A and B are shown apart, each in its own frame.
Chain A
């Protein structure tokens, strides 16, 4: 496909029907009220020259290039800032306008380096284009006058340069940072001729608050802000529309290429999830795909202590098939299983669960969602009837009160965070429920109305207290509960009990009762109240209970079934939703249908020609337990690094060591591969051909920009393993796998690659009654018929702080790194986060003699690790925080076997720990500091 240049209509569209009719150069067009003259003209096919205007930003009116003449009006107004009125007659090309525009361009060009032929933006420069468009032929002022040509170049950012000598001070970068990203890192410093773009207080980009989202680079009309890769490689010549492989937002990108070399990833304006925005990971951190660490040939070894032996595909696949069958012959059908990956496509995941069920003959398949959002699947299915979020991302633009629980979207889901921040700047209220003071509590132009800084492990007490206020203060939507739900009266009686009151919960959670009551009233009285949540909800011993508690709260206030409301999980990885949809759980076939359902099993049995067990299989933690007790002997791991990502590393590695065969299918030789007997090289998202499903149930195409570097697609590998085990699994193309999914799974019945290519994306359910998908769920009726209120009693976690382990550790992620870091650690993103740090409150640090940057030990009852301390007051006293992006830290060495009661999702968010000084940053020994502390204490 040739290079895709998306049309730029100059100013953003306005909602509503096209009720205002205008004439532009004699062409009639009807547009919604509030539309600019520039956009109306563009809709008739007339591009008015412009430099400071672009349709992703509100009009600014500074460049004076888009002037027009309007019948009956004096002067030459800027078309970008002039709204249309009924009957308006506009002229965009007159001798007067031509002269004015040429004059403007002359001034710009007189202070611009005339190095077009060697400029990195040659051929992709709006200044260059406009010079041609306005017919500029001479610059009467010459080029010797005062100018900015010696302005310094800022190369501090690893991904883009800022060449101030080429800047025309159009403010598009500043406005993009403000309006699109919402970071407000850039400003225009100085006045008149001295005015210039400045990151923050005048330092470099890297010293500023810039989060490297790329919005400024995208907005820049010249080469002032330019991707380093374009400078190095030149302009791309073709585009492929595909989907980011990082977080669950699932942004659409144009992969812009020269041959099969990716020059840059540009966010796609027509992408339903991101609408032209991006973050530092998706925009820039794609270099891992061609990193020399990639494993490109299969490897095999008899014992995990042996060196690897590179082999041909046939030998590796034969080895896997033979060993798996041999183990089953000796230890039984249920002695083997597989784990699917949320980083793989729907098609790749589907074939793994098919292999397990049809070829292995058991249901021992699980997915990495087990350790993140499995409680979402359980909780939302129990209450609403299906295991997915209720809204599309756009819906947040209609929310009046947003409750953000256990999520940090500016780091974990940055592109959605930008949408949320835009709505908050428009006046929506925010309630943050999190032990940590995340950035959204207070950031430029945003301040949460309430930050309920609860003690880790008390989520359910808090959500019950909020619901208690709703019920006891008469704030419930009784009509909604009566018409749409069941079990309300029993639940209301339960939730109204004194033990659920804010006053009873205050000593448990540490949240003042008055603050809780105020937050509950704010949410319940909002025209539209929306709940968004993350792993701070699910990764608890009561993760599933909390999900049901939030669903109760939303139903009790009638906040379900329309725009601006809902209960919405922010999924961690790109295809968490999809991997769950595809039947990766050991109790469910594709489409969340239980394996005990005879009718559903029959559909698959007839198609696959194999009987399917009607009993659930092992979940990931159960697999580890069974490996240690000897009944589970072989594991096929698709694209997951369980030795780094799963809790209680010692237990995980003991389980892996106990198995006879561990097969790892991955891009890199990861931590799990140390315990593997076979390493099957996987493909990056740039090689995959399939679909991802994001957190809003949006099914997006993942299109290859290059052939698999390994010689095989991942679904082909699985098919060949199945064949080696004696089962004929074969597809000619991944589209055939999606066709099989559609044929067997009612919520996907209308999905096909052809439809996705035509519509761009669809949100499931996509079937006869919703042929173009379903952006908002539970409209008019819940999937299960009536919404089900569940009594959610608060049960404290077994994990308590003790004298030996007096602090509580909670874990999370940061913006620049992703999950176990296998991808982002192999990019320049390491400049922002080269190591995992332990965030600790100044008081907790002081009593331990710890200073910022000191090396500390972090110990729990299951293990100990070492990392450096960062002293921050965003943590409450008694709670410490770290990330798990670096294997050298091994944060999961200390996390425990505790898990959610319903799903076994690990309790990553609550671990009792002790922190001690190991080595001060100044070189002072821990012993010397301990002596000083003792002296002070004495």
Chain B
């Protein structure tokens, strides 16, 4: 199965922050995504989360911090 590029990327980003407390990590990742991702990439990530294809708790915490 091919992973969606945005899901794959956010998972890779999350891996960089797992050594930090989850709330801090989620805030930093969300800030990173706001700074560097085109809005359509964010939308695609949100769509995948809403479709239930993302289960990583850190990624889900990140998504909660992103603008809809």
In the assembled complex, the Cα of A616 lies from the Cα of B20 at a distance in Å of 26
With beta carbons under 8 angstroms apart, the residue of B9, B20, B38 that contacts A615 is B38
B5 within 8 A of A: yes
A795 within 8 A of B: yes
Stretch in A160-168, A243-251, A617-625 touching the partner: A617-625
Which residues of A, 490-543, contact B by the 8 Å Cβ criterion? Answer: 494, 541-542
Cβ distance B54 to chain A, nearest Cβ, rounded Å: 17
A91 within 8 A of B: no
Which residues of B, 12-30, contact A by the 8 Å Cβ criterion? Answer: 12-13, 15-16, 18-20
Cβ distance B5 to chain A, nearest Cβ, rounded Å: 5
Cβ distance A48 to chain B, nearest Cβ, rounded Å: 62
Chain B residues in 8 Å Cβ range of A901: 9, 12-13, 15-16
Q: A622-B38, A793-B18, A902-B32 are in contact. List 12 more A-B contacts (CB 8 A).
A: A494-B19, A541-B12, A594-B35, A618-B40, A618-B41, A619-B36, A622-B37, A626-B38, A626-B40, A793-B19, A902-B16, A902-B36
B57 within 8 A of A: no
A-B contact pairs, 9 of them (CB 8 A): A545-B16, A594-B35, A615-B38, A616-B38, A617-B38, A619-B36, A622-B41, A793-B19, A899-B9
Contact A793 B16 (CB under 8 A): yes
Chain B residues in 8 Å Cβ range of A254: none
A586 within 8 A of B: yes
Contact A625 B16 (CB under 8 A): no
Which residues of A, 124-183, contact B by the 8 Å Cβ criterion? Answer: none
Q: Residues of B at under 8 Å CB distance from A?
A: 5, 9, 12-13, 15-16, 18-20, 32, 34-41, 44
Chain B residues in 8 Å Cβ range of A622: 5, 37-38, 41
With beta carbons under 8 angstroms apart, the residue of B16, B32, B40 that contacts A334 is B40
A626 (CB) vs chain B CBs: closest residue = B40
A587 within 8 A of B: yes
A62 within 8 A of B: no
In the assembled complex, the Cα of A809 lies from the Cα of B66 at a distance in Å of 38
In the assembled complex, the Cα of A214 lies from the Cα of B25 at a distance in Å of 54
A791 within 8 A of B: yes
**4 nearest interchain CB pairs?**
A793-B19, A901-B12, A625-B5, A618-B38
Chain B residues in 8 Å Cβ range of A545: 16
A631 within 8 A of B: yes
In the assembled complex, the Cα of A363 lies from the Cα of B36 at a distance in Å of 11
With beta carbons under 8 angstroms apart, the residue of B15, B20, B37 that contacts A791 is B20
Cβ distance B8 to chain A, nearest Cβ, rounded Å: 8
Chain B residues in 8 Å Cβ range of A899: 9
In the assembled complex, the Cα of A750 lies from the Cα of B5 at a distance in Å of 43
Q: A625-B5, A902-B13 are in contact. Are A616 and B35 (CB under 8 A)?
A: yes
Q: Residues of A at under 8 Å CB distance from B?
A: 334, 363-364, 494, 541-542, 545, 586-587, 594, 596, 615-619, 621-622, 625-626, 629, 631, 791, 793, 795, 798, 897, 899, 901-904
Cβ distance B43 to chain A, nearest Cβ, rounded Å: 10
Chain B residues in 8 Å Cβ range of A619: 36, 38
Chain B residues in 8 Å Cβ range of A902: 13, 16, 32, 36
Chain B residues in 8 Å Cβ range of A791: 19-20
Most buried by B among A334, A594, A615, A904: A615
Cβ distance A253 to chain B, nearest Cβ, rounded Å: 38
Chain B residues in 8 Å Cβ range of A618: 38, 40-41
In the assembled complex, the Cα of A793 lies from the Cα of B13 at a distance in Å of 12
Chain B residues in 8 Å Cβ range of A629: 44
Chain B residues in 8 Å Cβ range of A494: 19
Chain B residues in 8 Å Cβ range of A631: 40
Cβ distance A337 to chain B, nearest Cβ, rounded Å: 10
Cβ distance B16 to chain A, nearest Cβ, rounded Å: 5
With beta carbons under 8 angstroms apart, the residue of B16, B34, B35, B38 that contacts A542 is B16
A621 (CB) vs chain B CBs: closest residue = B5
Cβ distance B42 to chain A, nearest Cβ, rounded Å: 9
Contact B12 A586 (CB under 8 A): no
Cβ distance B60 to chain A, nearest Cβ, rounded Å: 18
In the assembled complex, the Cα of A618 lies from the Cα of B41 at a distance in Å of 9
Contact A587 B12 (CB under 8 A): no
Chain A residues in 8 Å Cβ range of B38: 334, 363-364, 586, 615-619, 622, 626
Q: A542-B16, A795-B16 are in contact. Are A587 and B40 (CB under 8 A)?
A: no
Contact A587 B5 (CB under 8 A): no
B19 (CB) vs chain A CBs: closest residue = A793
Chain B residues in 8 Å Cβ range of A364: 38
With beta carbons under 8 angstroms apart, the residue of A586, A594, A795, A897 that contacts B15 is A795
Chain A residues in 8 Å Cβ range of B18: 793
In the assembled complex, the Cα of A619 lies from the Cα of B36 at a distance in Å of 9
Chain B residues in 8 Å Cβ range of A594: 35
Chain B residues in 8 Å Cβ range of A363: 38
In the assembled complex, the Cα of A80 lies from the Cα of B20 at a distance in Å of 64
Chain A residues in 8 Å Cβ range of B9: 899, 901, 904
In the assembled complex, the Cα of A541 lies from the Cα of B13 at a distance in Å of 10
Chain A residues in 8 Å Cβ range of B32: 902
B5 (CB) vs chain A CBs: closest residue = A625
In the assembled complex, the Cα of A900 lies from the Cα of B42 at a distance in Å of 18
Chain B residues in 8 Å Cβ range of A897: 5
Cβ distance B7 to chain A, nearest Cβ, rounded Å: 12
Most buried by A among B16, B32, B39: B16
Chain B residues in 8 Å Cβ range of A616: 35-38
In the assembled complex, the Cα of A618 lies from the Cα of B34 at a distance in Å of 13
Cβ distance A238 to chain B, nearest Cβ, rounded Å: 48
Chain B residues in 8 Å Cβ range of A798: 12
Cβ distance A376 to chain B, nearest Cβ, rounded Å: 15
Contact B36 A587 (CB under 8 A): yes
In the assembled complex, the Cα of A545 lies from the Cα of B16 at a distance in Å of 9
B37 (CB) vs chain A CBs: closest residue = A616
In the assembled complex, the Cα of A618 lies from the Cα of B42 at a distance in Å of 11
In the assembled complex, the Cα of A545 lies from the Cα of B18 at a distance in Å of 14
Cβ distance B26 to chain A, nearest Cβ, rounded Å: 15
In the assembled complex, the Cα of A795 lies from the Cα of B16 at a distance in Å of 6
Cβ distance B51 to chain A, nearest Cβ, rounded Å: 15
Cβ distance B21 to chain A, nearest Cβ, rounded Å: 12
Cβ distance A356 to chain B, nearest Cβ, rounded Å: 13
In the assembled complex, the Cα of A333 lies from the Cα of B60 at a distance in Å of 30
Cβ distance A120 to chain B, nearest Cβ, rounded Å: 57
In the assembled complex, the Cα of A136 lies from the Cα of B6 at a distance in Å of 80
In the assembled complex, the Cα of A897 lies from the Cα of B9 at a distance in Å of 11
In the assembled complex, the Cα of A594 lies from the Cα of B38 at a distance in Å of 13
Chain A residues in 8 Å Cβ range of B40: 334, 618, 626, 631
Contact A587 B35 (CB under 8 A): yes
In the assembled complex, the Cα of A542 lies from the Cα of B44 at a distance in Å of 24
Cβ distance B66 to chain A, nearest Cβ, rounded Å: 12
B41 (CB) vs chain A CBs: closest residue = A622
Contact A615 B15 (CB under 8 A): no
A332 (CB) vs chain B CBs: closest residue = B40
B44 (CB) vs chain A CBs: closest residue = A629
Chain B residues in 8 Å Cβ range of A542: 16
Most buried by B among A542, A798, A901: A901
Chain A residues in 8 Å Cβ range of B16: 542, 545, 793, 795, 901-902
Chain A residues in 8 Å Cβ range of B19: 494, 791, 793
In the assembled complex, the Cα of A798 lies from the Cα of B12 at a distance in Å of 9
Cβ distance A505 to chain B, nearest Cβ, rounded Å: 16
In the assembled complex, the Cα of A648 lies from the Cα of B8 at a distance in Å of 16
In the assembled complex, the Cα of A596 lies from the Cα of B34 at a distance in Å of 10
In the assembled complex, the Cα of A853 lies from the Cα of B9 at a distance in Å of 40
Contact A615 B39 (CB under 8 A): yes
Chain B residues in 8 Å Cβ range of A795: 15-16
A494 (CB) vs chain B CBs: closest residue = B19
Chain A residues in 8 Å Cβ range of B20: 791
Chain A residues in 8 Å Cβ range of B39: 615
In the assembled complex, the Cα of A791 lies from the Cα of B37 at a distance in Å of 23
In the assembled complex, the Cα of A334 lies from the Cα of B41 at a distance in Å of 12
Most buried by B among A545, A594, A618, A903: A618
Cβ distance A511 to chain B, nearest Cβ, rounded Å: 22
Cβ distance A605 to chain B, nearest Cβ, rounded Å: 19
